[in-house]
Chains A and B, each alone.
Chain A
Amino acid sequence: MIKAVDIRKSFGTQEVLKGVSATFEKGKTNLIIGRSGAGKTVFLKLLVGLLEPTSGGIWYGDINFLNLEKSQRTDIRREVGMLFQGNALFDSLSVEENIRFPLDMFTKGTKKEKDMRVNECLERVNLVGSNKKLPGEISGGMQKRVGIARAIVLDPKYLFCDEPNSGLDPKTSILIDELIKELTIDNNMTTIINTHDMNSVMEIGEKIILLHMGELAWVGNKNEVMESENQLLQDFIFASPFLQRLRTAFIKK
């Protein structure tokens, strides 16, 4: 479990997060949603320690992450996997070498053991046979899957995903969502996904947090989205007239 308590973050005079508190549960896909500029990415970067909050606390289980020394934070980070919006794959390394990198850096296993783990991860994300390809030689969806494979190669307890569906077609987007959900359940991870993909909200949103202008606007799950009367949520989720008609029809039914 990860808990954020009264998180505030300012850049100069601009306050991006204004006292956000949230709990992200273990074994669930926790979604952070909100319009562009709502503070989602900043919140995610604060949670993972890439940015320091102006005030507030971030708890990984019973440990206050912000009170830790740098070396202790590094220990926590080794339990974290992250999928970046742009994948952040190393261009000059092959698919296999990208996935293998954390193993080479942090584990002492033999080459055979590492190869086995890399192949396991490739199999898990349905990328068998792409070992020797460079990131530039595979599609965006495949790159996402390589990013996921690299994120899970060390069996993390926490998985962070920043806009995992951005730039993907709807079908591939669904496959990525399903993969993240399966991995979360199989590995019993605390997964936090930053998204504004409505399909993800309705399919894998076991816990949903809506941010609006740097403040927490709504907390719920995918089953509560349709019936919630929260205007900010409705404006965000059912933004188009088509979706509004759909919701009206759903409620009438």
Chain B
Amino acid sequence: MNFNFLHEFGRYLILMKTMFAPPENARMYWKETVRQMNDIGIGSLGIIALIALFIGAVTSIQFAYQLSDSFIPAYYIGYIVRDSTIIELAPTISALVLAGKVGSNIAAEIGGMRQKEQIDALEIMGVNTAAYLVGPKIFAGCVVIPMLIIIAAGVSIVGGYLAAVSSGFVTATDYIFGVHAFFVEYYVFMMLVKAFVFAFLLTSIACYKGYYVKNGSVELGKSSTQAVVISYIFILLADYVIALILT
């Protein structure tokens, strides 16, 4: 078991190292990166916004209910929704959702190419397949996923506003005042660090699982599932480590 983990981890590191080779044709790599940015970014915008909206709404309703019989001012709802969203909910929940959507898609795409000998075809042409297939996906993910997480944080705060104000727990003025209160810029930095690390983890793990898939549709399905599960574990682990280091 330990040997297997070390073997897998070593192979993952080699794949990451191979990825940093000079491109055969920078224009083709850029074209592929833009395609990936579109697939990951635009393709995930709807689901991320929807989930963020409800997370903000639920968070604000829950806190509003907890605070309803206390002496804590109502504007705290906006403040709590903002901070919990920025520090934890937007980056972590978004990354988990994206690990499921984008991660499984990447693993299946690269795995399918492996099984249909398309990766072999690229190798024979003289293309560095690790660099061409993996590099643009990781780069695109590291650029686009933090943007999605910033949008998720904004939408979540709006979701909190809509839920809390429409339910009558807090006035619009108080909620907005709460959102502005005690703002610590450092939390945004934390969110971006998490976003970047999660993006790298979920895209690189998915690429790795797809790149080394064995033959057979069952294997492809397993690889895709493993990509998601392993990404979940490492995202949560990284969340904990970042919280320890940056808090």
The smallest beta-carbon distance between A101 and chain B, in angstroms, is: 8
Residue contact A106 to B120, C-beta cutoff 8 Å: no
Q: Is residue A50 contacting chain B, with contact meaning CB distance below 8 A?
A: yes
Q: Is residue A77 contacting chain B, with contact meaning CB distance below 8 A?
A: yes
Residue contact A50 to B123, C-beta cutoff 8 Å: yes
Give residues 94-152 of B contacting A (CB, 8 Å). 116-118, 120-121, 123-128
Residue contact A106 to B123, C-beta cutoff 8 Å: no
Residue contact B25 to A106, C-beta cutoff 8 Å: yes
Cβ contact of B124, chosen from A80, A89, A104, A105, cutoff 8 A: A80
Closest to A45 in B: B120
Q: Is residue B219 contacting chain A, with contact meaning CB distance below 8 A?
A: no
The smallest beta-carbon distance between A83 and chain B, in angstroms, is: 9
Q: Is residue B28 contacting chain A, with contact meaning CB distance below 8 A?
A: yes
Known: A74-B126, A77-B123, A77-B126. A104 touches B28 (CB 8 A): yes
Q: Write out, one digit per residue, whether chain B residues 14-28 have a CB within 8 A of any chain A CB (1) or not (0).
A: 000000000011011
Give residues 1-37 of B contacting A (CB, 8 Å). 24-25, 27-28
Residue contact A106 to B126, C-beta cutoff 8 Å: yes
**What DSSP secondary structure best describes chain A's contact surface?**
mixed
Number of A-B contacts (CB under 8 A): 49
Which residues of A are found within 8 Å of B116, using beta-carbon distances? Answer: 86, 88, 91
Give residues 64-98 of A contacting B (CB, 8 Å). 74-75, 77-78, 80-82, 84-86, 88-91
Q: Is residue A233 contacting chain B, with contact meaning CB distance below 8 A?
A: no
CA distance A160 to B120 in the complex (A): 13
CA distance A101 to B24 in the complex (A): 12
Q: Is residue A56 contacting chain B, with contact meaning CB distance below 8 A?
A: no
Residue contact B121 to A105, C-beta cutoff 8 Å: no
Give residues 89-143 of A contacting B (CB, 8 Å). 89-91, 101-102, 104-106
Closest to A76 in B: B126
Which residues of A are found within 8 Å of B126, using beta-carbon distances? Answer: 74-75, 77-78, 106
Residue contact A88 to B127, C-beta cutoff 8 Å: no
Residue contact A82 to B124, C-beta cutoff 8 Å: yes
Known: A74-B126, A78-B125, A105-B125. A88 touches B28 (CB 8 A): no
Residue contact A88 to B24, C-beta cutoff 8 Å: no
Q: Is residue A48 contacting chain B, with contact meaning CB distance below 8 A?
A: yes
Closest to A162 in B: B117
Residue contact A104 to B25, C-beta cutoff 8 Å: yes
Which residues of B are found within 8 Å of A82, using beta-carbon distances? Answer: 120-121, 124
Closest to A79 in B: B126
CA distance A106 to B25 in the complex (A): 7
Interface size class of B (residues with CB under 8 A): 10 to 19
Instruction: Pick from B24, B123, B126 the residue with the most CB of A within 10 Å.
Output: B126
Residue contact A88 to B125, C-beta cutoff 8 Å: no
The smallest beta-carbon distance between B165 and chain A, in angstroms, is: 45
Cβ contact of A85, chosen from B27, B117, B118, B124, cutoff 8 A: B117
Residue contact B28 to A105, C-beta cutoff 8 Å: yes
CA distance A98 to B183 in the complex (A): 53
CA distance A102 to B116 in the complex (A): 18
CA distance A106 to B124 in the complex (A): 13
Closest to B29 in A: A105
Cβ contact of B24, chosen from A48, A81, A85, A106, cutoff 8 A: A106
CA distance A50 to B117 in the complex (A): 11
Cβ contact of A48, chosen from B27, B28, B124, cutoff 8 A: B124
Residue contact A105 to B120, C-beta cutoff 8 Å: no
Closest to A85 in B: B117
The smallest beta-carbon distance between B12 and chain A, in angstroms, is: 19
The smallest beta-carbon distance between A151 and chain B, in angstroms, is: 9
Residue contact A88 to B123, C-beta cutoff 8 Å: no
Which residues of A are found within 8 Å of B24, using beta-carbon distances? Answer: 105-106
Residue contact A84 to B121, C-beta cutoff 8 Å: yes
The smallest beta-carbon distance between B211 and chain A, in angstroms, is: 15
Closest to B112 in A: A91
Residue contact B118 to A88, C-beta cutoff 8 Å: yes
Closest to A98 in B: B121
The smallest beta-carbon distance between A249 and chain B, in angstroms, is: 41
Known: A77-B126, A102-B125, A106-B125. A84 touches B25 (CB 8 A): no
Interface on A for B, CB 8 Å cutoff?
48-50, 74-75, 77-78, 80-82, 84-86, 88-91, 101-102, 104-106, 160
24 CB < 8 A contacts A-B: A49-B123, A49-B124, A50-B120, A50-B123, A50-B124, A77-B126, A78-B125, A80-B124, A82-B124, A84-B117, A84-B121, A86-B116, A86-B117, A88-B116, A89-B118, A91-B116, A104-B27, A105-B24, A105-B25, A105-B28, A105-B125, A105-B127, A106-B25, A106-B126
The 7 closest A-B pairs by CB, nearest first: A88-B121, A88-B117, A77-B126, A78-B126, A74-B126, A84-B117, A82-B124
